[in-house]
Structure 1
């Protein structure tokens, strides 16, 4: 395994309208954990939903998991609270990144916060450019990734929606969506 002084920390962005942004990031989480890297997952939106991947992460002593959001906030009745929560999670995320405790950090659904103008893309991009440790891998997920974040990323993947079971009236299925 490459030591930190020999590692080029990548910035990955998973965005787009299609399914699989978080799932792809969590594949990175388990791959990295399997190699013994220390991983931190910070979820901006999902809140206290219990998910299969969060349950699976408990089997690893090198994955730290934080589901911190207020839930699916696009139906919000309190946008000021959503902004406050997002800002607090962003501050917490920066602390975790700067702690140098982790090799991989996933900021799950942070791009949504940018799409709603709760956190600016330029602020995130500036932090990545100027503060992120050079050896740390950082993964950002969610629709509407801001152009500034896309610009500083090493790899950007756009998930394209072609067809989704929800369009056929099939609700989220355990083991597939959560």
Structure 2
């Protein structure tokens, strides 16, 4: 059994200052708190990833770091991938995950909309119309190796977002 956790980055500052790039947008204090809230929901359910992967964008890296702190993962070991910011197809993401092999049972990926939401809906049969910041899905696959992951084969275990708890 493999578990894939997909997270949309937390709430960020608006892009009012056009001298700053979208890539450099930082989390707001609310985003920090929301990330802590969702990470602690995973911790309470004993869902502890053994591999963290994030977009290289500042807001995604910050979100991943908050989750890592709450879940006891060394933030120095977070894998950073540019393609998670630049955009990807379902096939490209599946190819990336397939290369992980069998050594990790639970991986967490931090990304951006619309790609992270679109990818999630391709993996499960559930219709997800709402994927706000900090939205986190936990998807189970009845496989022993990530090379066997398939579109539509995932079973949604959890669907979480901050306003569920406020």
- Per the TM superposition, whether the score is higher than 0.5 is no
Larger Rg: 1
Larger RCO, structures 1/2 (Cα 8 Å, 6+ apart)? 1
Q: TM-score range by the shorter chain?
A: 0.3 to 0.5
* TM-score, normalised by the number of residues in structure 2: 0.41
